[in-house]
Structure 1
Amino acid sequence: MPVSRDIADLLKVLAVTLLLFGVATLVMLYVIYLLTQYGGNLPLISALPVKTPPALVPMLADNRLFATLAAAHVTATGLALLISSNTIDMALLITSKAVTVVLTALLGFVGGHMIYLQLTEKIAFNIAPLTPAFITFVVFLVLSSFLSAYNVRQWGKLRFVAAVVGILAGPLLLVWL
């Protein structure tokens, strides 16, 4: 199955976002590290509580907000397939693409932070806490590409089966994720 230009463009944006936020996080943490090591005597720096944010990463990685949004989005897509509305389809598509990019930025941040911890403190990589974030990312990626409401509408009467599946799968995702 050939990949459409829209999906290819989304994948390019996701790759650049992941790389950009990973590198930006790494640079940001090294600047913080350098400021704490060598800038403590400077009057403007010594007054700032300059620390790395290690406690922030598990909170972001285990954030149930995106899993809740994914469950609601799957249910909303199911409901949208029961009616015919280009506005609702566009709203769901824009939302799914935006959340996919935000999740990619989050994963880039976490990746940059993990690399920083590996380089500075020799802490081993542990991606197990990121499982819900990865699953949610995949759900939104699929909903923003292959299973968007617009694409599923092209299935004809099978869209109603997909609608029922979406309406039932949303609550299951909420419980599972």
Structure 2
Amino acid sequence: MSQDFTDLLKVLATAALVFAGGTLAMLYVIYLLAQYGANLPMVGSLPLSAPPELVPMLADNRLFTTLAAAHVTAAGLALLLTSNTIDMALLITSKAVSVVISALLGFAGGHMIYLQLTEGTRFALAPLTPVFIALALFLVLSSVLSVQNLRQLGNLRFVVAAGMIVMGPMLLVWL
């Protein structure tokens, strides 16, 4: 495992933990404000149910699937060209999306911990399976299948490029 990939995994774990802790703190502050401060000005108008309503949105993986399909297609096109700027843009994008997905998973984890502590609700990770798959896909796109790594294949990269250009739209159907 390269140092770059190890550093990315550290960032992903940190993002998930920070957002889990932040979500847990936010939900308890909302809970305390609802219990003890509802008569205070502006506190009574807080959307107390908004954060928990966001959790089902995480299970809808169409956004991540669409980004992954577009990224695979763009990587195929980038392999046909020679541009360090495009290569770097795709690498940064795949890493950034990985961090965003980790932050969203941290949010979902913090929310699940909150529900477990306040309502005794069981943990249910099954709805988040597509999000975990998207995270794994973007990790692969930022490491093994990064354009920089695929360029080392020499002229075989053109065959891989054609395959990626065809594979991108197919991901929309499969995922």
TM-score, structure 1 normalization: 0.91
The amino acid that maps onto 1:16 is: T
Paired position in structure 2 for 1:138: 136
Q: Which has the higher mean CA deviation after the structures are superposed, 45-54 or 130-139?
A: 45-54
Would the aligned equivalents of 1:61 and 1:129 in 2 still touch at CA under 8 Å? yes
Residue 56 of structure 1: how far off its partner (Å): 1.4
Paired position in structure 2 for 1:89: 87
State the secondary structure of the residue aligned to 1:45. coil
Paired position in structure 2 for 1:120: 118
Residue 52 of structure 1: how far off its partner (Å): 5.4
Deviations 1:109-165 (A, max 9, x none): 111111111111122222222122111111111111121100111122232232122
Q: Which has the higher mean CA deviation after the structures are superposed, 110-119 or 154-163?
A: 154-163
The amino acid that maps onto 2:62 is: R
Paired position in structure 1 for 2:35: 37
CA distance in 2, matches of 1:10, 1:71: 22
Deviations 1:64-109 (A, max 9, x none): 1121011100111111112211111111111111111111111111
CA distance in 1, matches of 2:96, 2:69: 16
Deviations 1:158-177 (A, max 9, x none): 32232122112211211122
Structure 2: which 5+ runs fail to align? none
Q: Which has the higher mean CA deviation after the structures are superposed, 69-78 or 81-90?
A: 81-90
CA distance in 2, matches of 1:128, 1:172: 24
TM-score, structure 2 normalization: 0.92
Residues 1-177 of structure 1 aligned to structure 2 (within 5 Å): 3-51=1-49, 53-177=51-175
Question: Percent sequence identity over matched residues?
Answer: 70
State the secondary structure of the residue aligned to 1:46. coil
> Moved runs in structure 1, 4+ residues, more than 6 A?
none
